[in-house]
Structure 1
Amino acid sequence: MASVATEYISVGGNRHPAAADWDVESGVLAFGADNNVALWDPLEPSQRGVYSLLVGHTDKVSVVRFYTCPSSDAKLLLTGSVDHTIRIWRMDGPGSRNFTYAYTLSGHTGSVNAIGIARGTDVIASGAADGTVRIWRVNAQGEVKAELLDMITMKPRFFPLSLSLRVLEGDQGRPLVLAVAGTTTTVQIYVAESSVGVPSFQRCAVLAGHEAWIRSLSFTRDSGSTTGDLLLASASQDKYIRLWRLQRGEVSFSSIIDEADPLLGGMEPTLSNKAHEFEAAGSKYSITFEALLFGNEDWIYTTAWNPGPTRSQLLSASADNTITIWEQDSVSGVWMSVERMGEISVQKGSTTATGSAGGFWIGLWSPDGKEVVSLGRTGSWRAWRYDTDADIWVQKFGISGHVRSANGVQWEPTGGYLLSTSADQTTRLHAQWVRENQASWHEFSRPQIHGYDLNCVDTLGPAQFVSGADEKLLRVFNEPKQIAQLLETLTGFRQSIEGDMPDTAEIPVLGLSNKALGDEAPVEEEETGDQAIKTAPSTAPAPLIMDHPPLEDQLARYTLWPEHEKLYGHGYEISAVAVSHDRTLIATACKASSVDHAVIRLYDTSDWHEIKPSLAAHTLTITDLAFSQDDRYLLSVGRDRQWAVFQRTEQEPNTFTVCASNPKGHSRMILGAAWAPYAETPIFATAGRDKSVKIWEKTDDTFSCNSTVAVTSAVSAISFSSIIYKGAFVLAVGEDNGTISIHRVSSDSLVCQHIVTIAQNLSPSKTITSLSWRPVPVEEVDGRNRFELAVASEDTSARIYSISNLLS
């Protein structure tokens, strides 16, 4: 029986301040990745990265919180989404790091933006864009269930963006305090007399002072207080963090500020020490303004208190590209920044003031309080570890991935590395880092950072590739010497390239083309689209000599590939590209609504000129192109439901003529095409929206359908493995709903047999856009028992599956 394991998941995080949480007990970090929830253990020695994606939400995940239910000690994961629901996932068991869907909380009529939990109680709160906060009770004894206890409508009406829920310690009734803030400049404080029964929250205080929307709230117990005081941190788009002290009893001030005094009252009326007093469970409480934390130059998105019990430290993440750790001075009691990490004012154009989504969106502490991670604007996670001996924070490498639909994956011809390209306007290179007794996949290079959405990619050999985007032309890139050396050092992939390789690349001012260093005058900074890069000076390329994969800032700046050539001719967005196996021809197509544009253009890689005339057969967009293994045939399929096969002329290798076509190949549009490995008779497969894959075999002057694979939804991508294995072709089929199945096609009779369908919990949650089998050397075929399949999906993920016992 064939078995499937997930070898690698590359996925970026959602840019929402509440969309991640790091669990203190299990060490698992969960974050929203499009409409999925990614699970990652940053402290895992193997550095594996994301090990699982939880599938269930139908829209982007906007809030993630871990929660331990006190009645049963069950570990739960609460995830809120733009789809208006909150899903509860239950950990499979003690010691497990996997979660299973358990229950859905529904009732909100807007995007869920915040979840507040009070440790030690079974009460949780959720805030949404419908202008309400809902109070729920969760019961995890037996099956997980939840009930709605109360609904608070925000007055004056605003959208809650952040919640913090806490038990007021020291009282028998265990009253609850709830802080709510969002699209307003005040923090509202609600109190419930008890966490048992049906808690009724009443507003008891409104904390004023901020001058813009408030993005984050977090309570903690003041470690320096003997009376159990609570500290509340509120962070705002006004670039300030305010600390508030909630204490038991009444407050007496040593002196009163004279509001009439121009030096005190008139200068800064927002620094008020007014005490907000209220009662709960028979005790009096008061909230006072404690401190103003300033130093950030842009919006502050998140705050988080160090979970370590030793000292109160506050971590903040800001749009100014910094992660800051704040601490109270032991002598003066003044709060100050003791550490700033990130990219302090080095990247132009990345702030909210320029309209781009810049900076760090999330900052989290590790369970031991000695490591911090942050999510940046590229969807990548960065990590810093505190070095006790040197008393400094040292950056480690985190994880990265696409943040919009992954549109293409393609292996280097020998399987040395994998290229993926995406609508997030980047092309990324993934390879396996091999070291002592361990191997793990990572992003090693970001060859292309573009200003247009990228649609397709193919390799032109081990050190060159071509990609097509929404800009009507294709670009060819050459691998720089540094990347080749890095891959050889860390992955063992050695390339024998004739001729000199460029050193490294940069993007010139106001340009979209990566230039090899030395091609142009040195430049300082430039911006392309919503990607901002500060290039290295031309005279001193940054070295990439290291014993680990590149860090995120190195990926974004120093791993670009120089552009070699542009291929012009198409009038609309590029839809498909294919390179012949002998690397002499590039075939491309573009989006088309008329016969004039529904053509295939061929380019000669020896001089990069277009081969005229274009190949015509279709009337609408050509969706896929494929060369046969011997390069004698070129197959095209399109939205007009037809396929066409062009044959190469032996006397003139650059000339193709139509040798067969079928205007009714499928009953609906055809989305995928693939040639079977070389056999005596040419064989290809087509995939249609009519929920079928058809296998076609050459007979006389045409191709006839010999067998059909029927599936449950529209087929969006197919791929044959590059070898004949145990007398059969191996076919991977990707569907519109994210299902991936593997089939055996007999090489002589073409009888199709289903081998395995990848389990739903391991599969992508959206349309499969591209499939690619890792090439296997011919001499290894007979002894090989494990094959690898790369998958790209609209759910932003690029994955590699390991499939064993394929045809046993």
Structure 2
Amino acid sequence: MSPADGELAGARGEVVAERVFIGAGCNRVVNNVSWGACGLVAFGAQNAVALFSPSRGEIVTTLPGHKAAVNCTLWLPSKKDVLQVRGKETHYLLSGSSDGAIMAWKIGSGKREWSHALQLPTMHKKGVTCLAGRMVSDTVSIFASTSSDGMVVIWEMTVEPTAGGSCNVSCLHSLSVGLKPMVSLSLAVLTEQGGRLILAMGGLDHKVHIYCGDLSGKFIKACELKGHSDWIRSLDFSLPVMTGSGKHSLFLVSSSQDKTIRIWKMTSDDVSSGSTLQSRKENIGMASYIEGPLFVVGDTSCQVSLESLLVGHEDWVYSVEWQPPTLLLGDEAHQPMSILSASMDKMMMIWRPEKNTGLWINSVTVGELSHSALGFYGGHWEPDGKSILAHGYGGFFHMWRDVGLESENWLPQIVPSGHFAPVSDLTWSRSGEYLLTVSHDQTARIFAPWRSHVNPGDVTCWREIARPQIHGHDINCVAFIQGTGNHRFVCGADEKVSRVFEATLSFLRTLQEATLLKPNNEDFDDVQVLGANMSALGLSQKPIYTHGGKESPSSASNDGPDSMETIPDAVPTVFTEPPVEDQLAWNTLWPESHKLYGHGNELFSICCDQAGKLVASSCKAQSAPVAEIWLWEVGTWKAVGRLQSHNLTVTQMEFSSDNAFLLSVSRDRHLSVFSIKKTDEGAQHHLVTKHEAHKRIIWACSWNPFGYEFATGSRDKTVKIWRVQDASSVKLLITLPQFCDSVTALAWTGCDRARNAGIIAVGMDNGLIELWSISGGRSASDSSSDPSPLSVACILRFDPLLCHVSTVHRLRWQKHDSSDEKSALELASCGADHCVRVFVVRDG
């Protein structure tokens, strides 16, 4: 392990940070996810492109660069390019965002190295909605992009065959499709016709448009396919399939908001063959086709027919995809006749033709049973066809894998999870074993390192193990209630009420399974609540009681007078392996124990003292009376103080390490320090000082854990360090050199009490994080001596690849014993990019 953490700041040696966890949800758009032939899944998480490994079930990195939300991704080579994939160590990823930008990324799949390759010339004036492409040779690929500006652009990417070779992208052609833009694309390569291309596009006019082109990128409209009665949401070409007549046929599958799926068959014939149509009309069977248009591709004519109409989904079908081809002996690609569809009815289906009749039927159905889910935006095959992945409205993933031997048996798999809106606040639990986050996606989530039961010494993976609150309002702030007793937290949302939640027995036992820690019986003794039920309005969560432990979890129910208001009962469960999405959303809620009324506006900031006796809260404010800080007594939950000082919203508050002072900072550019003393009747408080500290909004503050120094960070790009001098003043000790952007988050941790040394983590509006060592001054235990000069130094600037891509909302150091010389420091961060990140900081 690393040397003493106290040496990090003292020796100013090389300090390294390793990112050990990323939690993020998927952007809620249709073409956002792409499963590459390299085995990684790419998806947009706000302005970043995230990559996750399905085999490990965790996000491995996020790629910064886009200035707007990522709408679509595409891997090259694609899963259909089975001949070009062999032996390829370098894969390319394309991503399009809502500002019209398209970027290319270079991914070294063997060494897991990723880098920004280039940004494509801006051709779209509005958001890019879909990308589709294929490799036409080992070094050249053709791809198309479509946008809500009504343009479809054809591109060519050439890659140098050497290992470190660069790639070049050029625009070949652009097509204007009119006032009704296209939202789905698919591209097919006809190798038998000398590499000619067929492009299918569908959109708001309910038609599938077929274009023919060649490697020069010039595409000419060939025909339209009519039949759907609503928007076309997804298109996918198969590889050419050898049919019974000995001819190659190309299949196109389309899905629509009319809840149906259509399979179109394109059979090619020599142009000179004039008797083709007549012979077909004489041989029509049950599994035959309905004839469509005829068009010419090079020297061949293509007859389009409707192969099948698939009806089974009960809502919009957002996604259809052919099962990826496999490579047979002799370098022949085999296209399985199998289609995956995903719909807003919360179901994914696999469709196959029946052996005897050839009729397409639904052979596999998997889905989401949770009442809180709102359906799937897309479904994707693993390159080998053994797993399927769905992403949905709640930013979640679902994955099923066929584990059957003789017959199919699709079972849920572990996938990454996270928030799908800005993460507003986070806090470590009292002893630091797990992390609680809250977000504008109206959920509170708990993440913890899940240790292997087989080999406890193995590398642990962080997982979401509970979702204590699913709310009807955006949640803005949260604080754990310190001190002894059950795990409790209080949070504030876009309502005028703070809510207190208590851990359930099922959660405490699940936590024990996850961390493999010996149970603390004190945690379990007084806990009578097994779980919680969601109310119909999604606000108050009602407890499910253990009834003295005699009732099993499955039979536990809420039979109180309000039972008519609840949706079907949750089943609180002790999880022995990480829970999947529908379990999290339904069976891991915590009951609400108290509501704290008093504020006049939406809650904005909240904190608890170190002893767990007082909670302070503030709300959005534009006047002094509303900007009051309220003090609440833990236990009775009575309001025991209203602190007046600020004129605008108090943005952050924190109690000093000995609970003697409460520090607050505000949009009014002032800091305030209050003297706080807990009494039997409540709390005594008075304003020590109010000081105009910065030239712009003060976003963040943090106390030195060893003394009465504290730091403030502001939109004016500065961090200032102050000390409480006496009962009536604070003194500015030092101003750190100006940062490159607004400072939005601060966290101060102690490393060496004797020298009053610690590290301040600084988070900025651009997503970057820096670590500064601070030592000197006066320690709280030795206030008689003169303070030594303060020494500050930047010891680490995080690599942008490790950081957030937009505003850092909160930084928190995990609690640690400063006398423990073997423990590394853990830093958690959350931001506007929907991400939660955990870093391990150690001496290099």
Q: Does TM-score exceed 0.5, indicating one fold?
A: yes
2:175 matched to 1:152? yes
Partners in 2 of 1:40 and 1:725 — Cα distance?
41
2:441 matched to 1:424? yes
1:425-504 alignment runs, 5 A limit: 425-435=442-452, 436=455, 437-461=458-482, 463-493=487-517, 494-495=519-520, 496-497=522-523, 499-504=526-531
1:268 is matched with which residue? none
Change (3 A) 1:123 1:649: closer
Partners in 1 of 2:168 and 2:297 — Cα distance?
29
What is the deviation of 1:490? 2.0
What is the root-mean-square deviation in Å for CA atoms of aligned residues?
2.4
User: Aligned to 1:180, which of 186, 197, 201?
Assistant: 201
Change (3 A) 1:23 1:649: closer
Cα contact 1:722–1:776 (8 A) shared by 2: no
Cα contact 1:59–1:83 (8 A) shared by 2: yes
2:758 is matched with which residue? 729
Secondary structure of 1:503 counterpart: strand
Cα contact 1:299–1:319 (8 A) shared by 2: yes
1:699-738 alignment runs, 5 A limit: 699-701=725-727, 702-710=729-737, 711-724=739-752, 727=755, 728-738=757-767
2:244 matched to 1:219? no
What is the deviation of 1:507? 1.6
User: Aligned to 2:67, which of 54, 58, 76?
Assistant: 58
User: Aligned to 1:205, which of 204, 220, 223?
Assistant: 223
Partners in 1 of 2:687 and 2:17 — Cα distance?
39
Change (3 A) 1:726 1:29: farther
Q: What CA deviation, in whole Å up to 9, does each residue of 1:562-611 have, x standing for no partner?
A: 00100010010111000011101010000000011011000001201111
2:696 matched to 1:687? no
Cα contact 1:724–1:730 (8 A) shared by 2: no
What is the deviation of 1:341? 0.4
Cα contact 1:429–1:445 (8 A) shared by 2: yes
Secondary structure of 1:80 counterpart: strand
Cα contact 1:524–1:535 (8 A) shared by 2: no
1:645-656 alignment runs, 5 A limit: 645-649=673-677, 654-656=682-684
1:311-460 alignment runs, 5 A limit: 311-343=336-368, 347=371, 358-389=374-405, 391-435=408-452, 436=455, 437-460=458-481
1:43 is matched with which residue? 55
Change (3 A) 1:388 1:726: farther
Partners in 2 of 1:209 and 1:467 — Cα distance?
52
Q: What CA deviation, in whole Å up to 9, does each residue of 1:641-686 have, x standing for no partner?
A: 111111124766843433432431111111111111133xx11111
TM-score normalised over the length of structure 2: 0.87
Partners in 2 of 1:756 and 1:698 — Cα distance?
28
TM-score normalised over the length of structure 1: 0.90
Partners in 2 of 1:492 and 1:335 — Cα distance?
49
Cα contact 2:750–2:818 (8 A) shared by 1: no
Partners in 2 of 1:246 and 1:568 — Cα distance?
67
1:8 is matched with which residue? 21
Cα contact 2:507–2:574 (8 A) shared by 1: no
1:354 is matched with which residue? none
Counterpart AA for 2:442: Q
What is the deviation of 1:110? 1.2
Counterpart AA for 2:182: P
Gap regions ≥5 residues in structure 1: 259-263, 265-270, 351-357, 528-533
2:260 matched to 1:240? yes
Cα contact 2:768–2:804 (8 A) shared by 1: yes
Partners in 1 of 2:301 and 2:597 — Cα distance?
75
2:44 is matched with which residue? 32
Change (3 A) 1:640 1:92: same
Change (3 A) 1:521 1:295: farther
Cα contact 2:188–2:239 (8 A) shared by 1: no
1:355 is matched with which residue? none
Gap regions ≥5 residues in structure 2: 1-13, 79-83, 270-275, 327-333, 546-557, 778-788
Counterpart AA for 2:142: V
2:578 matched to 1:549? yes
Change (3 A) 1:20 1:648: same
1:128 is matched with which residue? 147
Partners in 1 of 2:348 and 2:147 — Cα distance?
27
1:574-593 alignment runs, 5 A limit: 574-593=603-622
Partners in 1 of 2:134 and 2:510 — Cα distance?
48
What is the deviation of 1:144? 2.3
Cα contact 1:414–1:777 (8 A) shared by 2: no
Partners in 1 of 2:16 and 2:630 — Cα distance?
41
What is the deviation of 1:143? 3.1
Cα contact 2:41–2:53 (8 A) shared by 1: yes
Partners in 2 of 1:322 and 1:369 — Cα distance?
18
- The alignment-based identity, stated in percent, is 31
User: Aligned to 1:751, which of 791, 795, 799?
Assistant: 791
The number of residue pairs the alignment matches comes to: 762
User: Aligned to 1:138, which of 127, 134, 157?
Assistant: 157
2:608 matched to 1:570? no
Partners in 2 of 1:366 and 1:8 — Cα distance?
24
Partners in 2 of 1:252 and 1:483 — Cα distance?
70
Change (3 A) 1:257 1:35: farther
Counterpart AA for 1:13: C
Counterpart AA for 1:470: D
What is the deviation of 1:295? 0.6
Cα contact 1:112–1:129 (8 A) shared by 2: yes
Partners in 2 of 1:149 and 1:525 — Cα distance?
62
Secondary structure of 1:245 counterpart: strand
2:76 is matched with which residue? 67
